[in-house]
């Protein structure tokens, strides 16, 4: 039974933990899927490469607005795919090779791990064979999450895609139905419709992007309905079916949707269940996440968890921060650090982009926090004119005294424009000082932030 | 001889000064050109509308990189022009109408003003007639600047354009020669080449954008040479000529350049000379700028100046700030405010965009300030991958202890990405804290800033 000083489950952010300072330890890394984790292989990075190609395609379609008449001659999906994975797959393979063959102190187990006791695991090799018992003095659980698939679809026998495989398909489906209404659904709806599909989004909920501020969600849903076939309150009412010609039928209260491919983007489930976390003694939340404290310690001594398997934020930048905290705490148990997730921003790379940090208007209302808001249109600042933008907005939520509570952006460059607001909220810069005591380049797009700040009806 | 409580010369930022709080004063506003000033009519705003159309055209030309094959069918220059000025001209006219006809306390003089004594002016009406003597208890000089035209060109009799008129021409010239190498030259080179011209840039200097950090200037010059015919050290060696067929010949040490139109973009001269500033008792700098103190007071009591006529920064956001200071100081002479131009950023909306704030590497070297630098490539962060960017960089200049001294960006969204750095430098946030104590959304483009900060070789 191999015993290691440190066992890491998962090769996303977990893989980044061991650096030179771990050279004196016997380290094991366990991976049951593609090396490198969700972000690199099936998440943030490849999706953004597709999104940018989609952005370019949409720019071309809308170019006439600017006096530039253009037409798309051909969209080379296979070339896009091969460019994306031609770049990513070697990184994944290189990362695996490095740990497997170039680090004498590291053992890589390719297989699925299940806890059998405290700091004890059985690893079933991916290529078959008997499970291996692996134990560690210390264990880091960084096993991520996986796409959730409604049972009615999973059990139907009808083929479907998730974010795990849809980017590797051979061609753009003529008609694509997406089940779900969150950020993954919104990003893929943009990608596939820009690259040639007729897209239907069918979501259980009454709006798209329901995690956003209610006004952003409402505005986005309205815009989306102009571009995609958006079906709200559309939980599947019966199992999907597949015709002999390959057409897929999705039944929902609105009727039956015919399409050529089905993409399930209905959230992600933390992988604690598949690890038999309970057998390892690890406490979990009702939603399956492993319970951790502010030092990323689980309920079992010597076991830490980080990232999607334990975090309420399924975000790579959060996982990276947590991995840095765990790395420090493994190296310096006498002076542990805490994770600081007080101000976590996020973005949705759909069209238009959406970005947020902090409290939403509904949070303030529900918690009884006094607040004021300002919604500033991109179209009312000079660069917004230049872009002929008619839909972009910056919505700020602040205390009446000017303390910034939240920022919610929808429009071009939202994921970049939000950074000064992240910085202000994180470091406690108030709205008035932020607006008035620094320069905003005229006529650059951040003037929309400046004007939003100036427009807050403060005391 | 009309006497007013307040006389304002110039309708750019000057026109924004009188608000409701000036209702009790007899105000005069003098304008000798188009109402609304440089920014609105011939500067920031229309250029950016053209630049965005140019950006779209270039995106289309490069779309094959992303697997989207497209072609430009037609560029409708006249439609772009009419869209731009169809939006701007009514604002100019509306602004004039408001001051002329809707403000009972305001007199608008349309004519050219010259000082005849302290706070005394002669205004020669634009539509002819005798000059009017106008005096004021208080005078604000906000008369801006104008394009500089080398005498050899001005006296040649060969037709040429400046930024004042080139945006209103009837069609894109097949071949355009631009004299100059600064930001105006670089922006119009992008606009005209993207919209169809073969562009030659002939500059006296050894590089383009010489006001930038030396490395940004060098990198930009190299990139420009791939897209335009860039002639350095190319001061005209003889007056330009015009052939009978309309071809314009520009003679420089590199030979004779043939083109169909000539654009002079060789800097801007403050308009103090045309105002006979000396006759008004106003001290001027050797370069013609009116001397002001930190309250924007000139050397004559009761006379203020602001914007391009007095500032070392020919930037609208600076003029706006100075106008706000002057407005306050007119209203509250007992508690005057000072202009704060300690940290003035700027951007060049060419291709790629360029943005800067603070010290350049050459400033530190020349002043003997200890410094470290980091040049971070866009292409090394995830969104830069998605953009397939190979040329974008963020260059930071900092003290070895981490105090940020300057930031110099060249690449997509540079004018937006710089804002958190403006904020950090303005409010004294050091590099390490800025990088490590806030979140940077993954995989958004601001990660290039984060990585630049983390890469600084600090003590």
- pLDDT reported for residue B104: 94
| Alpha helix ranges (H) inside A355-418 | 361-367, 382-386, 414-417
Q: Are A131 and A142 in contact (CB under 8 A)?
A: no
Q: Are A161 and A262 in contact (CB under 8 A)?
A: yes
Q: Give the pLDDT confidence of A377-429 residue by residue, as tens digits.
A: 999 999 999 999 999 999 999 999 999 999 999 999 999 999 999 999 999 99
- Hey, what are A67's tokens? 């006096």
- pLDDT reported for residue A122: 98
For residue A121, name the pLDDT band (cuts at 50, 70, 90): very high
* Residues contacting residue B399 through CB under 8 Å, at least 6 positions apart: B369, B370, B371, B372, B405
Regarding pTM above 0.95, the answer is yes
Q: Tell if the CB–CB gap between A386 and B429 is shorter than 8 Å.
A: no
Q: Give the pLDDT confidence of A129-144 residue by residue, as tens digits.
A: 999 999 999 999 999 9
Q: Give the pLDDT confidence of A135-192 residue by residue, as tens digits.
A: 999 999 999 999 999 999 999 999 999 999 999 999 999 999 999 999 999 999 999 9
- Hey, what are B341's tokens? 């131009």
- pLDDT reported for residue A260: 98
Number of helices (H) and strands (E), helices first, in chain A?
13, 21
Chain B CA closest to residue A435: B423
Catalytic residues of B: 442
- pLDDT reported for residue B1: 78
How far apart are the CA of B233 and the nearest CA of chain A, in angstroms?
31
> Which residues 62-121 of chain A have a CB within 8 Å of chain B?
63, 66-77, 79-80, 83, 87
Three-point CA angle B288, B144, B123, nearest 5°: 95
Q: Give the pLDDT confidence of B273-309 residue by residue, as tens digits.
A: 999 999 999 999 999 999 999 999 999 999 999 999 9
Listed residue (B142, B197, B214) closest to B364, CA to CA: B214
Chain B CA closest to residue A75: B68
Q: Tell if the CB–CB gap between A439 and B343 is shorter than 8 Å.
A: yes
B211: contact with A, CB 8 A cutoff: no
Interface test with A, best of B44, B82, B423, B428 (most A CBs within 10 A): B423
- pLDDT reported for residue B304: 98
| Alpha helix ranges (H) inside B290-413 | 316-331, 361-367, 382-386
Mean pLDDT value across residues A97-116 = 97
Q: Is the pLDDT of residue B212 over 90?
A: yes
Question: Which of A70, A413, A427 shows the shortest C-beta gap to B416?
Answer: A413
Tokens 């007013």 belong to which residue?
B4
Mean pLDDT value across residues B193-216 = 98
How far apart are the CA of A48 and the nearest CA of chain B, in angstroms?
6
For residue B331, name the pLDDT band (cuts at 50, 70, 90): very high
- Hey, what are B426's tokens? 């303005």
Mean pLDDT value across residues A25-48 = 97
Averaged pLDDT of chain A: 97
A346: contact with B, CB 8 A cutoff: yes
- pLDDT reported for residue A1: 78
How far apart are the CA of B342 and the nearest CA of chain A, in angstroms?
10
- pLDDT reported for residue A2: 94
- Strands B198-202, B346-348: parallel, antiparallel or unpaired by DSSP? unpaired
- Say how far apart CA A340 and CA A300 lie, in whole Å: 22
Catalytic residues of A: 442
- pLDDT reported for residue A10: 98
Q: Are A41 and A92 in contact (CB under 8 A)?
A: yes
- Say how far apart CA B99 and CA B112 lie, in whole Å: 17
* Residues contacting residue B436 through CB under 8 Å, at least 6 positions apart: B454
Its ipTM equals 0.98
- Hey, what are B153's tokens? 């060109």
Q: Are A202 and A233 in contact (CB under 8 A)?
A: no
Sorted by where each starts, the structural domains of chain A and their CATH numbers stand as 3-146+269-331 (3.50.50.60), 151-266 (3.50.50.60), 352-455 (3.30.390.30)
Q: Are B420 and B229 in contact (CB under 8 A)?
A: no
Q: Is the pLDDT of residue B416 over 90?
A: yes
Kindly list the residues from chain A whose CB atom is less than 8 angstroms away from the CB atom of residue B328: none
How far apart are the CA of A274 and the nearest CA of chain B, in angstroms?
27
Q: Tell if the CB–CB gap between A429 and B423 is shorter than 8 Å.
A: yes
Q: 10 Å Cβ neighbour count for A84?
A: 22
Q: Tell if the CB–CB gap between B53 and A44 is shorter than 8 Å.
A: no
Widest distance between CA atoms in chain B: 70
Q: 10 Å Cβ neighbour count for B129?
A: 9
Averaged pLDDT of chain B: 97
- Say how far apart CA B354 and CA B358 lie, in whole Å: 14
Q: Is the pLDDT of residue A373 over 90?
A: yes
> Which residues 12-51 of chain B have a CB within 8 Å of chain A?
39, 44-45, 48-49, 51
- pLDDT reported for residue A233: 97
Q: Tell if the CB–CB gap between A449 and B72 is shorter than 8 Å.
A: no
For residue B42, name the pLDDT band (cuts at 50, 70, 90): very high
How far apart are the CA of B410 and the nearest CA of chain A, in angstroms?
14
Q: Tell if the CB–CB gap between B413 and A418 is shorter than 8 Å.
A: no
């Amino acid at each position: 039974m191999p015993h290691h000083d440190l066992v890491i489950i998962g090769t996303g952010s977990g893989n980044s933990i061991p650096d030179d300072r771990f050279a004196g330890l016997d380290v094991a890394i366990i991976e049951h899927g593609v090396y490198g984790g969700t972000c690199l292989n099936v998440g943030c990075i490849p999706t953004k490469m597709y999104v940018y190609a989609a952005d370019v395609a949409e720019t071309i379609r809308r170019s006439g607005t600017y006096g530039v008449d253009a037409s798309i001659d051909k969209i080379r999906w296979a070339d896009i795919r091969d460019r994306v994975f031609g770049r990513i797959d070697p990184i994944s393979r290189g990362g695996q090779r490095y740990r497997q063959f170039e680090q004498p102190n590291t053992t890589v187990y390719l297989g699925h791990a299940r806890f059998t006791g405290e700091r004890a695991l059985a690893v079933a090799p991916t290529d078959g064979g008997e499970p291996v018992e692996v134990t560690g003095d210390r264990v880091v659980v960084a096993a991520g999450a996986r796409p959730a698939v409604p049972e009615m679809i999973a059990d139907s026998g009808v083929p479907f895609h998730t974010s795990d495989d849809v980017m590797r398909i051979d061609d753009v489906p003529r008609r694509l139905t997406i089940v779900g209404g969150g950020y993954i659904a919104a990003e893929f709806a943009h990608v596939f419709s820009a690259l040639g599909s007729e897209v239907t989004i069918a979501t259980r909920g009454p709006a798209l992007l329901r995690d956003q501020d209610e006004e952003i969600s409402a505005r986005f849903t309205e815009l989306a309905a102009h571009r995609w076939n958006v079906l709200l309150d559309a939980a599947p009412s019966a199992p999907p079916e597949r015709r002999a010609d390959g057409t897929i039928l999705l039944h929902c209260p609105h009727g039956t949707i015919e399409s050529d491919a089905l993409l399930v983007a209905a959230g992600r489930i933390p992988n604690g269940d598949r690890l038999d976390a309970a057998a390892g003694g690890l406490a979990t939340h009702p939603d399956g996440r492993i319970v951790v404290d502010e030092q990323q310690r689980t309920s079992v001594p010597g076991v830490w968890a980080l990232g999607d398997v334990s975090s309420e934020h399924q975000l790579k930048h959060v996982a990276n921060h947590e991995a840095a905290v765990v790395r420090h705490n493994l190296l310096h148990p006498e002076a542990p650090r805490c994770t600081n997730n007080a101000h976590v921003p996020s973005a949705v790379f759909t069209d238009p982009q959406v970005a947020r940090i902090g409290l939403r208007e509904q949070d303030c209302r529900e918690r009884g926090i006094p607040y004021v808001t300002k919604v500033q249109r991109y179209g009312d600042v000079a660069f917004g004119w230049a872009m002929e933008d008619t839909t972009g907005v910056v919505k700020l939520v602040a205390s009446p005294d000017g303390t910034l509570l939240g920022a919610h952006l929808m429009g071009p460059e939202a994921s970049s424009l939000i950074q000064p607001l992240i910085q202000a909220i994180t470091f406690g810069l108030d709205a008035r000082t932020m607006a008035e005591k620094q320069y905003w380049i005229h006529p650059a797009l951040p003037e929309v932030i400046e004007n939003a700040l100036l427009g807050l009806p403060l005391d």
